Amino acid sequence: MDKTIEWVKEGEFGYSLMINQTVLPFEYKKEKIRTTEEMYNAIKTMIVRGAPAIGIAGAHGTALSAIELINEENFIEKLMQKADYLNSSRPTAVNLSWAIEAQKELALKNKNLPNKKISEILIENAIRLENEDIEINKKIGEYGASVVPRGAGILTHCNAGSLATVGYGTALGVIRSAYKKDNTIQVFADETRPRGQGAKLTTYELVKDNINTTLITDGMCSYFMRNKMINFVVTGADRIASNGDTANKIGTSTVAIAAKYYNIPFYIAAPKSTIDMNIKSGNDIVIELRDEDEVKIVNGKPICIDGVNIINPSFDITDNSLITGIITEYGIIKPSDLKNIFS
């Protein structure tokens, strides 16, 4: 698959190019993003989604902001404002703030250089982060594959594949690496209501890779676990607290609780950039609440009566006690030992 998001060099600077994930799997198209506002909207409306991919979008977006401001006075001050605006597009995924803060620090470090030179430095760093993402995911995949049982029935929730990253994927990176060693594995993909990332995106990726994949509804995992068709779970993450509590797509905690009951290993696959050592627990993670129409409207038509209350949290918190291990580019870490990879 092409890169989910990449910087395209064109003319003096270039632009950000991304796969539009809102039209998959029925249409494959790419969007050119050239301004701060376009990037904000792409992140907000989930044209680009998945914590690592959103992080790269933030890095690209900050570079685009610099290009927009290249002839402005008070360049650094205005750049900081635009970067903070970009960071407000989605509050839960820490990769977004991680990448934007890295770009802000780089700009401040070079604030005495000409505006054009600062813009070029930000572009170069965005491309570096973009390319590093794929290598990080391949390392995650290799470490994760080492704990996947032969002939495993693997459950994954939401989409933590190529489309959630620049390429290869975190949770699906583990599955891809496991499949290279053992093509008898089977994958069960939760549909992941309300936006259906599992149904639309995860199945799209895995079927194209010829990996045996079964789509199930979010409420079916316990049935398949009880009947011993699922014996391994791996998902991605949007933010991991210092104690190992993990925010991921809504429904992940339910899967983890069921896995604990049936004594099935439950792993999180995520890069170091998803770990937020500045917060103590999942209680400190801001959960994004999205529009009620995501729940109410299916294929352009309402599925419930007007007047019913709808609450649409985009993520939930999986308690660290439910997590067998966190698969990172540094190896598989116990939730209680995350501090070790920062020392």
Backbone CA torsion sign across 248, 253, 259, 264: positive
**What mean pLDDT is predicted for residues 276-297?**
96
pLDDT per residue as tens digits for the range 110-164: 999 999 999 999 999 999 999 999 999 999 999 999 999 999 999 999 999 999 9
- pLDDT in the model for residue 290: 95
pLDDT digits (tens, 9 = 90+) for 172-184: 999 999 999 999 9
Helices (H), the chain: 36-44, 51-68, 75-87, 94-109, 115-145, 171-181, 197, 203-208, 221-226, 252-261, 293-296
* Pairing verdict, β 153-156 and 232-235: parallel
pLDDT > 90? residue 235: yes
Query: Which position has the higher pLDDT, 91 or 277?
Result: 277
Mean pLDDT (whole number) for 210-229: 98
How much is the average pLDDT of 241-253? 98
Angle at 143 between CA 138 and CA 148, to 5 degrees: 115
Told to judge if 306 belongs to the known catalytic residues of this protein, a careful annotator would answer no
For residue 129, what pLDDT is reported?
97
Query: What is the value of pTM for the model shown?
Result: 0.94
How many beta carbons lie within 10 A of that of residue 224, not counting itself? 18
> What's the mean pLDDT in 35-54?
97
The reported pLDDT for the residue numbered 91 is 87
Mean pLDDT, the chain, whole residue set: 97
pLDDT of residue 299: 87
The answer to whether 17 and 5 are in contact (CB under 8 A) is yes
Instruction: Provide φ and ψ at 193, rounded to 5°.
Output: -70, 150
Buried b or exposed e, range 173-198, using 16+ CB within 10 angstroms: bbbbbbbeeeeebebbbbbbbbbbbb
In eight-state DSSP terms, residue 329 is T
Q: State phi, psi for 223 to the nearest 5 degrees.
A: -60, -50
pLDDT tops 80 at residue 1: no
Residues with Cβ < 8 Å from 265, sequence gap 6 or more? 147, 232, 233, 259, 324, 325
From 238, 245, 276, 316, active-site residue: 238
pLDDT for the residue numbered 261: 98
The DSSP letter of residue 200 is: I
82-96, 117-131, 232-246: segment of lowest average pLDDT? 82-96
DSSP classification of residue 320: G
Instruction: Report the pLDDT averaged over residues 302-311.
Output: 96
Alpha helices in 266-331 (DSSP H): 293-296
> Which of the 8 DSSP states describes residue 287?
P
DSSP sequence for 166-178: SSS-SHHHHHHHH
pLDDT of residue 98: 95
Q: Residue 294: pLDDT band by 50, 70, 90 thresholds?
A: very high
Q: Is the pLDDT of residue 212 over 90?
A: yes
